[in-house]
């Protein structure tokens, strides 16, 4: 089905989360969770999408979305061939210079591609995970931009992989609808929280049915050892505790720090060093096994994920819904991970990331990897109230969404209140002497 884009609306949406130290970690002490938000307007309805930032610079992503308007407005989108739409955006020779396929311009592509998929799923009357799962293997392969991938995976090999998974699709879909998709929670582990709050939230997580939690580490070794001991004591030996350094360390430092934490049995070390350092992650993984290495929320495109897998640098692939170029590039990453047999455990949290990534993992289970073994979607209990179709967590699992679309739509009143800098939430903050990112004592 072909639709014509009448126009795009771009909004700079920011939540003053730094006031409560939600989301504080070793590299990001005071984020204001934000979204550069876009609406594609067509005769068939609207598609909503966004990319996620942590405050300052959200306006740069908004400008980057605007920069793509000449490729979109007044032109057609084939909702059955969104690979073409995606390649149109990433293939513009002049805009490509800003990346290629990285940074603010690529995050803008993510917002636009996700919006197109939100529209396609809405028009189809299906949640996105179901729309993708109902695609033929050929349709799925056609979503991917295969440039730079064929030394690791060819379209023909991807087709074979998808066909080999076709038999169990219906059973897995029924299983998904019955039990949901496993989640883990980062809620207890923010660096800005007190020890008491950490212990209380860790116990609550176990009581709520989670079998994995995550702690932020990397700012202070003694504090990390103390917090890790408290958390392990609170949850017992059978709950997995992942730790996340948010890129804080050099390679040698990462190895030494993880060795110190090892007595508390960390499940994985996440972002131990620069997200660009493929060889560094591989060296760390060799040194810290059996502790697993996870990364991906800042891995900027499929070429980087390809190399992380080729180099044996990761045990878990943590794709992000809007760091890479949206659904199409994430399909490529799911296929690569399946080819290498590495589980995908998406990054979420922030604002709206849980809503988006659940669709990717559920599609992965039904149609690509066919497994939930060692696979969990991150969950953080922030800001879901601003969405029209918020995630639902039951007994430590994401409930499969059934409403049409990508769960990407914020409520109109939230869009109004959190528009930056003129929304009510920011006008009030200014009156109180608040400014984004600088008002909270560490």
Nearer to a copy of itself, 199 or 308 (CB): 308
- What's the closest the beta carbon of residue 51 comes to a copy of itself, in angstroms? 10
Nearer to a copy of itself, 272 or 401 (CB): 272
Q: Are 112 and 38 in contact (CB under 8 A)?
A: yes
Return the DSSP state at 435. Answer: -
Residues 6 or more apart whose CB falls under 8 angstroms from that of 164 comprise: none
Q: Are 101 and 300 in contact (CB under 8 A)?
A: yes
- What's the closest the beta carbon of residue 235 comes to a copy of itself, in angstroms? 29
347 a catalytic residue: yes
Q: How many residues does the chain have?
A: 442
Site for a copy of itself contains 421 (CB under 8 A) = no
Segment lying near a copy of itself (by CB under 8 A), choices 176-184, 246-254, 256-264, 372-380: 246-254
Nearer to a copy of itself, 98 or 403 (CB): 98
Site for a copy of itself contains 75 (CB under 8 A) = no
What is 11-62 written as a DSSP string? Answer: EEEE--GGGGTTT--SS-SS---EEEEEEEEETTEEEEEEEEE-STTHHHHH
Nearer to a copy of itself, 93 or 194 (CB): 93
Tally Cβ neighbours within 10 Å of residue 22: 21
Nearer to a copy of itself, 2 or 56 (CB): 56
Site for a copy of itself contains 73 (CB under 8 A) = no
Q: Are 313 and 282 in contact (CB under 8 A)?
A: yes
Token pair for 258: 């993880």
- What's the closest the beta carbon of residue 272 comes to a copy of itself, in angstroms? 11
Among 21, 44, 73, 98, binds a copy of itself (CB under 8 A): 98
Token pair for 260: 């110190």
Question: Active site residue: 216, 306, 384, 397, which one?
Answer: 216
Residue with tokens 């980087």: 304
Rg (CA), the chain: 21
Token pair for 4: 């014509």
Segment lying near a copy of itself (by CB under 8 A), choices 93-101, 161-169, 236-244, 333-341: 93-101
Write out the binding residues for a copy of itself, residues 162-191 only, by CB under 8 A: none
Can you name the residues that pair with 294 across neighbouring β-strands?
270, 316
Can you name the residues that pair with 76 across neighbouring β-strands?
4
Distance (Å, whole) CA 306 – CA 332: 9
Site for a copy of itself contains 276 (CB under 8 A) = yes
Binding mask 21-60 for a copy of itself (x = CB under 8 A): ------xxxxxx--------------------xxxxx-xx
State the residues that interact with a copy of itself by CB under 8 A: 27-32, 53-57, 59-61, 63-64, 67, 70, 92-107, 147-151, 247, 250-252, 273-280, 283, 298, 300-301, 303-304, 306-307, 310-311, 436-437
So which residues are the catalytic ones? 216, 347
């Amino acid at each position: 089905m072909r639709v014509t884009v009448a126009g795009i609306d771009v909004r700079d949406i920011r939540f003053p989360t730094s006031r409560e130290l939600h989301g504080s970690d070793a590299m990001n002490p005071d984020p204001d969770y934000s979204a550069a938000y876009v609406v594609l307007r067509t005769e068939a309805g609207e598609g909503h999408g966004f990319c996620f930032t942590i405050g300052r610079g959200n306006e740069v992503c908004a400008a980057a979305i605007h920069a793509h308007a000449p490729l979109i407005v007044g032109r057609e989108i084939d909702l059955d061939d969104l690979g073409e739409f995606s390649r149109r955006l990433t293939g513009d020779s002049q805009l490509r210079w800003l990346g290629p396929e990285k940074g603010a311009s690529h995050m803008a592509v993510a917002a636009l591609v996700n919006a197109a998929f939100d529209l396609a799923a809405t028009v189809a009357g299906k949640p996105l995970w179901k729309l993708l799962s109902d695609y033929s293997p050929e349709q799925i392969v056609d979503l991917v931009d295969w440039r730079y991938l064929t030394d690791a995976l060819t379209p023909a090999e991807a087709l074979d992989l998808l066909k080999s998974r076709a038999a169990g699709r219906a059973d897995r879909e029924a299983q998904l609808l019955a039990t949901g998709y496993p989640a883990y929670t980062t809620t207890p582990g923010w660096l800005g929280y007190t020890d008491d709050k950490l212990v209380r939230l860790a116990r609550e997580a176990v009581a709520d049915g989670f079998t994995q939690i995550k702690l932020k580490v990397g700012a202070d070794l003694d504090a990390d050892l103390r917090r890790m001991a408290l958390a392990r004591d609170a949850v017992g030996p059978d709950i997995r505790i992942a730790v996340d350094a948010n890129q804080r360390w050099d390679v040698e430092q990462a190895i030494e720090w993880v060795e110190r934490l090892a007595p508390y049995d960390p499940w994985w070390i996440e972002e131990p060093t620069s997200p660009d350092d493929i060889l560094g992650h591989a060296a760390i993984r060799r040194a810290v096994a059996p502790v697993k290495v996870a990364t991906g929320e800042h891995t900027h495109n499929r070429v980087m994920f390809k190399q992380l897998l080729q180099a044996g640098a990761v045990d878990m692939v943590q794709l992000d819904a809007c760091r890479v170029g949206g659904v199409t590039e994430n399909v490529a990453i799911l296929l690569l991970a399946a080819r290498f047999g590495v589980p995908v455990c998406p990054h979420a949290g922030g604002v709206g990331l849980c809503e988006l990534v659940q669709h990717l993992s559920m599609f992965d289970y039904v149609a690509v990897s066919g497994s939930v073994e060692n696979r969990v979607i991150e969950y953080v209990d922030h800001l879901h109230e601003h969405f029209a179709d918020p995630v639902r967590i039951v007994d430590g699992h994401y409930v499969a969404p059934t409403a049409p679309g990508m769960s990407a739509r914020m409520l109109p009143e939230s869009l109004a209140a959190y528009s930056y800098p003129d929304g009510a939430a920011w006008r009030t903050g200014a009156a109180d002497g608040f400014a984004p990112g600088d008002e909270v004592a560490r």
